Amino acid sequence: MSNSMYGRSILDLTEMTQAEFLSVIKLATEIKANPNEYRHALSGKILAMIFEKNSTRTRVSFEAGIIQLGGQAIVLDSKSTQMGRGEPIKDTAKVMSGYVDGIMIRTYSDTMVAELATEASIPVINGLTDNHHPCQILADFLTIYEVKGKLKGIKLAYVGAGNNMAHSFLIGGSLVGMDISIATPTGYEPKQEIIDIAEQNALQSGSKIELINDPERAVADADVVVTDVWASMGEESQQLEREKLFAAYQINSELVSKAKDDYLFLHCLPAHRGEEVTSNVIDGTHSKIYQEAENRLHAQKALMVKLMKDS
């Protein structure tokens, strides 16, 4: 059976159709349930992993994932490579394409990753950039599907900064027909170009997109409540300022009381308990953060199989 995703790069969720996105979720459930059946799926394949940002879940889940699929990983700190000394991205991409079968990169610049993918002849996977976090959304939606049994028609409320997670929820949710409500302080909304993509997706999928400044309205009757740290990597200097601005956007017992009785709470981690979320929510019975974190492994294994296995 031919694989329409083979050899492609995934830099953000606009590069997948609804059918392809759902096929990754389906494959992830199969791999999770029957890991031994896929232990040779990528035998002999090598994944290069490039890091400019610190990582726990991304590094371990990708490295464990490629090993569990029969392949190997080479982990590179960009500072210890020629990239860190200013080698052109074009040269790195073309040379790496002759050595390995895929590249996963976790960095800052979306433009740099796009150039890497353009110049490489092998798949490039975005492990996180300033504007996108597609692999996290695959894991999150796998978790929602496991708990709720569906994605279409689910209401997901995201409360916090309009960052890469908000962007990816907008694109992914609108792609599969999920209703997305984003609540941010004024001046911290998602980028307009991301909103435009989500609204265009919604015309096809029937998704409802809501961008507001009122967290209670966003969370009202939500099936899923999500947040992220108030200051992402590279924004640490804004931490104190954001603590004041975002105080009313904390996920706490009072706020989640507006959600459905069977809501689930997600957070991509690492989390700052007592800041963006209180301990009684993130460590409470509605929280699925550890199931969500484990699902990074299964979702990324499915994605690697789709991109690196020709049939």
- Residues of the binding site for L-ornithine: 164, 228, 232-233
| Distance from C-alpha of 84 to C-alpha of 102, rounded to nearest angstrom | 20
Q: Which residues are annotated as a binding site?
A: 55-58, 82, 106, 133-136, 164, 228, 232-233, 268-269, 296
Phi and psi at 106, nearest 5°, equal -120, 110
Options 101, 179, 223, 268, the catalytic residue? 268
Options 179, 296, 298, 300, the catalytic residue? 296
Options 106, 167, 242, 286, the catalytic residue? 106
Starting at the earlier edge strand, list the strands of the sheet with 124-128.
72-77, 46-51, 102-106, 124-128
Options 12, 140, 179, 228, the catalytic residue? 228
Options 133, 167, 286, 298, the catalytic residue? 133
Q: Which residues are annotated as a binding site for carbamoyl phosphate?
A: 55-58, 82, 106, 133-136, 268-269, 296
Q: What is the dihedral of CA 231, 235, 241, 242, to 10 degrees?
A: -20
The sign one gets for the Cα dihedral 217, 218, 219, 222 is positive
Phi and psi at 140, nearest 5°, equal -65, -45
* E strand or H helix at 158: strand 155-159
| Distance from C-alpha of 70 to C-alpha of 57, rounded to nearest angstrom | 20
Options 12, 68, 130, 136, the catalytic residue? 136
Residue 296 is a catalytic residue:
yes
159: nearest Cα among 223, 209, 230, 208 = 230
| Distance from C-alpha of 249 to C-alpha of 260, rounded to nearest angstrom | 18
Residue 133 is a catalytic residue:
yes
Active-site residues: which are they? 106, 133, 136, 228, 268, 296
